[in-house]
Amino acid sequence: MRKPRIVVLGAGYGGLMTVTRLQKQLGTNEAEVILINKNDYHYETTWLHEASAGTLHHDRVRYDVKDVVNTSKVNFLQTTVDDIKVEEKKVITSQGEVEFDYLVIALGAESETFGIQGLHEHAFMISNVNSARQIREHIELQFATYKNEEVPKDERLTIVVGGAGFTGIEFLGELGNRVPELCKEYDIDRSKVRIVCVEAAPMILPGFDPELVKYARATLEKKGVEFHIGTPLKEAKAGSVLIAKSEDEVEEIKAGTIVWAAGVRGNRVIEKAGIENMRARVKINRDLRVPGHDNIFIIGDCSLMINEETERPYPPTAQIAMQQGEVCARNIAALLHGKDDLEEFTPDIKGTVCSLGENDAIGVVYGKKLTGTKASFMKKVVDNRALYMVGGPSLVFKKGKFKFF
Amino acid sequence: MRKPRIVVLGAGYGGLMTVTRLQKQLGTNEAEVILINKNDYHYETTWLHEASAGTLHHDRVRYDVKDVVNTSKVNFLQTTVDDIKVEEKKVITSQGEVEFDYLVIALGAESETFGIQGLHEHAFMISNVNSARQIREHIELQFATYKNEEVPKDERLTIVVGGAGFTGIEFLGELGNRVPELCKEYDIDRSKVRIVCVEAAPMILPGFDPELVKYARATLEKKGVEFHIGTPLKEAKAGSVLIAKSEDEVEEIKAGTIVWAAGVRGNRVIEKAGIENMRARVKINRDLRVPGHDNIFIIGDCSLMINEETERPYPPTAQIAMQQGEVCARNIAALLHGKDDLEEFTPDIKGTVCSLGENDAIGVVYGKKLTGTKASFMKKVVDNRALYMVGGPSLVFKKGKFKFF
């Protein structure tokens, strides 16, 4: 008799958590586990703003899949997922088809541009290791070029960040620290550099405590960030953005670097597969399965769950993806063991910390508001915990953040 | 009575040597010495290929002028020289006019493009700290971008170097070492990268010993450098170069990076000043003065002296510029002391070493041929000696090269 085959798509927070738990919970004879991922490494999506700003090397934000996956129990296949044939129980990859009995879709998010013209062509997105280091190098080349052109163009030194949500603010915090270093490196006066944040919503960090938001804004302004809040970005062009100052007034800001950090959506494969979705996110059952598909789980940023207290969806976070991974693994094991009553998932939000650059942050942890070095310390604890959950103490030792003060 | 004023233009090898010797040889009451330089730092022109390839940080190839110039004896003016009014004894700078009694022109070389179309727009030149770090960052961005574009363009990873003279070969040697590092940094297969050298002359390193030339070429080819010798570069375009394979056959090489390292000329200010010149280099008298201008000295790359043995001009080298600086300082002191018989300058060529990257080189030192680590050791001795001559042991300690093996 053929062993049932579990295929996990994606080695992000959710996928790796599922696989590392499955390899503990299942005997080798119980099931075949296949993990499919584009790269041979996992990266910490929540650290990419640092790699993008150049404050943390990109090798610090990634580790080999094989460092945490037991390859005697799990087959790792490095390839790209192109499509999923739900009814035929097949995954189509660049290297061929893979059949499954159970499927876990943990493909993560993509950037959402909301149809804003020119973003795809002219803006960078903080999406993965490749895009992060391209942003870092692009900014650095702007500074280097400024000092070597016959007529220096000040706009080269302007960095526009679209979005004042979590990623936008964390990236601005890192830029605030990085820009003085770049100025020193390239003999440039700090006053020549502009860091501009453009946000359509009427506030930064929506959903955060107002007192903490105030602290964050003041901190970033002290680092030289200019905020244009309640100001939609209308268009990105080669070397500039158009922002709507009011209904009739459009302002052009010339900028050597445009980074779009304002929205995420699920993975396009979801849409291609024909699973019912909203911006490629699927409203899953409480047991993490796709309605009508008892053998397909979706976790992480491609899943959509409603917080019944607020009647709004839970945000796509690493914390939730990892918790889902644990429940997903247990539910698959239960199915294999012939059980029918699967565990229902409820997020256990321990807290949220938003970094404002090395040594500063804001956050709410176990209901307590934190700012400054205390919050920054907690941010590092959160970051190290994610490593610990997937790879245990040895991974924390290898990739953890220990420069606490 | 007003003290005679000595104005030295340029803080390169020749200018700094002149000024550091003048400050030793002259009492404060004997003369006023003014040093004019565009930057507040000196840079080692002969090390720029390393900063350009990214194998040595640009801060390692420069030091503050004030580290070696005694500002109680020398006035340092950081500004750009725009013109020289020879008859009126005035230097025109961006910050105003400076009168002189004695003038030392040590403005260094500029790149010579020989009228080749597109070089000015599309090729980088290894000219100074600003251009070197721009080349480094440009190459790095090409590698970063390659990994983040939907359809990776292999030509991004092609680096064309125009010129197989001293600078070209030394730069190729560094690239040979740097490219594998970049491939590792950006997860790129080494076989995707091309390093192409295009040279119009029928050989590399003209004037060098043929046995050493053979060693150099074999070494660089082992590092993956492709040579197109006897092949003039006809035109540089955005993203490619045209090279003449034969009289009727033109080949296009697509390349993300084009570096022109094939020719130098004197400084354009010489031409503007109306001093008789050949490509902005002035055939000076044996006492280093300009024919017909007894108060104007020209040293370094703007000067032209014929080697009577070979009947060809001496090459523009740091070694000669520094030796000229010493003689120039003594001759100015002699004039101030009322002496008429100035010292005649004869280069004392101790040797020439051409680096082929860290740990490898070729050279002739005191008539002895050297290759490999021995030559590489001598190269570092030469580099450290230049520091020692200008700034003594403390400068060698600060900026010297000690990683001998």
Predicted confidence at residue A247, as pLDDT, reads 86
CATH value of A114-262+350-405 in 3.40.50.720, 2.60.120.10, 3.50.50.100, 3.30.230.10: 3.50.50.100
According to DSSP, residue B405 is labeled: -
The CA-based angle B377-B381-B383, given to 5 degrees, is: 115
Mean pLDDT on B240-250: 94
Q: Which of A137, A145, A186 is the closest to B140 by Cβ?
A: A137
Predicted confidence (pLDDT) at residue A346 exceeds the cutoff of 80: yes
Q: Where are the domains of chain B?
A: 5-38+79-111+265-349, 114-261+350-405
Do A137 and B141 count as a contact with CB atoms less than 8 A apart? Answer: yes
Share of chain A above pLDDT 70, in %: 99
Predicted confidence at residue A25, as pLDDT, reads 93
Same CATH topology for A5-38+79-111+265-349 and A114-262+350-405? yes
Predicted confidence at residue A138, as pLDDT, reads 98
The pair of three-digit structure tokens given for residue B183, joined into one six-digit string? 């491939």
Question: A with B: how many residue pairs have Cβ under 8 Å apart?
Answer: 47
Predicted confidence at residue B96, as pLDDT, reads 97
Mean pLDDT on A65-71: 95
- The pLDDT confidence band at residue A402, using thresholds 50, 70 and 90, is confident
Q: Which of A138, A147, A148 is the closest to B141 by Cβ?
A: A138
User: Which of A110, A170, A174, A199 is the catalytic position?
Assistant: A170
Three-state secondary-structure class, residue B188: coil
Fold for the domain defined by B114-261+350-405 = FAD/NAD(P)-binding domain (3.50.50)
For residues A388 and B14, give the distance between their C-alpha atoms in angstroms, rounded to a whole number.
Answer: 60
CB B52 within 8 A of CB B136: yes
Do A141 and B138 count as a contact with CB atoms less than 8 A apart? Answer: yes
Predicted confidence (pLDDT) at residue B1 exceeds the cutoff of 80: no
User: Which of B110, B170, B199, B326 is the catalytic position?
Assistant: B170
Q: Please report how the helices A372-399 and A13-25 are oriented relative to each other, as an axis angle in degrees rounded to 10.
A: 50
- The pLDDT confidence band at residue B405, using thresholds 50, 70 and 90, is low
Predicted confidence (pLDDT) at residue B357 exceeds the cutoff of 90: yes
Q: Which of A141, A147, A148 is the closest to B141 by Cβ?
A: A141
pLDDT digits (tens, 9 = 90+) for B209-237: 999 999 999 999 999 999 999 999 999 99
Predicted confidence at residue A405, as pLDDT, reads 62
A152 to chain B, closest Cα gap in Å: 12
Q: Is residue A170 annotated as a catalytic residue, yes or no? A: yes
Mean pLDDT on B98-119: 97
- Residue of B65, B148, B150, B185 for testing the chain A interface, max A β-carbons within 10 Å: B148
For residues A204 and A214, give the distance between their C-alpha atoms in angstroms, rounded to a whole number.
Answer: 9
pLDDT digits (tens, 9 = 90+) for B41-93: 999 999 999 999 999 999 999 999 999 999 999 999 999 999 999 999 999 99
Minimal-distance CA residue of chain B relative to A125: B148
Predicted confidence at residue A1, as pLDDT, reads 66
pLDDT digits (tens, 9 = 90+) for B139-197: 999 999 999 999 999 999 999 999 999 999 999 999 999 999 999 999 999 999 999 99
- The pLDDT confidence band at residue A310, using thresholds 50, 70 and 90, is confident
Q: Which positions in chain A touch B186 (Cβ < 8 Å)? A: 133
Amino acid at B139: I
Q: Please report how the helices B210-222 and B166-185 are oriented relative to each other, as an axis angle in degrees rounded to 10.
A: 20
Do B137 and A148 count as a contact with CB atoms less than 8 A apart? Answer: no
When the pLDDT of each residue in chain B is averaged and rounded to a whole number, the result is 96
Minimal-distance CA residue of chain A relative to B134: A144
Predicted confidence at residue A332, as pLDDT, reads 98
Mean pLDDT on B131-138: 98
B326 to chain A, closest Cα gap in Å: 31
Do B148 and A134 count as a contact with CB atoms less than 8 A apart? Answer: yes
- The pLDDT confidence band at residue B350, using thresholds 50, 70 and 90, is confident
Predicted confidence at residue A51, as pLDDT, reads 98
B128 to chain A, closest Cα gap in Å: 9
State the Rg of chain A over Cα: 22
Predicted confidence (pLDDT) at residue A404 exceeds the cutoff of 80: no
Predicted confidence (pLDDT) at residue A292 exceeds the cutoff of 90: yes
**Beta-strand relationship, B240-244 and B233-237:** antiparallel
- Which range has the worst mean pLDDT, A238-242, A315-319, B218-222, B309-313? B309-313
Predicted confidence (pLDDT) at residue B243 exceeds the cutoff of 90: yes
CATH of segment(s) A5-38+79-111+265-349? 3.50.50.100
Do B137 and A140 count as a contact with CB atoms less than 8 A apart? Answer: yes
A149 to chain B, closest Cα gap in Å: 9
Predicted confidence (pLDDT) at residue B252 exceeds the cutoff of 70: yes
Predicted confidence (pLDDT) at residue B340 exceeds the cutoff of 90: no
Q: Which positions in chain B touch A51 (Cβ < 8 Å)? A: none
A185 to chain B, closest Cα gap in Å: 8
- Residue of A39, A141, A188 for testing the chain B interface, max B β-carbons within 10 Å: A141
Minimal-distance CA residue of chain A relative to B140: A137
Mean pLDDT on B356-381: 94
Do A140 and B138 count as a contact with CB atoms less than 8 A apart? Answer: no
Q: Which positions in chain B touch A131 (Cβ < 8 Å)? A: 148
Share of chain B above pLDDT 90, in %: 93
Share of chain A above pLDDT 90, in %: 93
- The pLDDT confidence band at residue B309, using thresholds 50, 70 and 90, is confident
Q: Which positions in chain A touch B140 (Cβ < 8 Å)? A: 137, 140-141
ipTM score of the complex?
0.93
Q: Which of B130, B133, B137 is the closest to A137 by Cβ?
A: B137
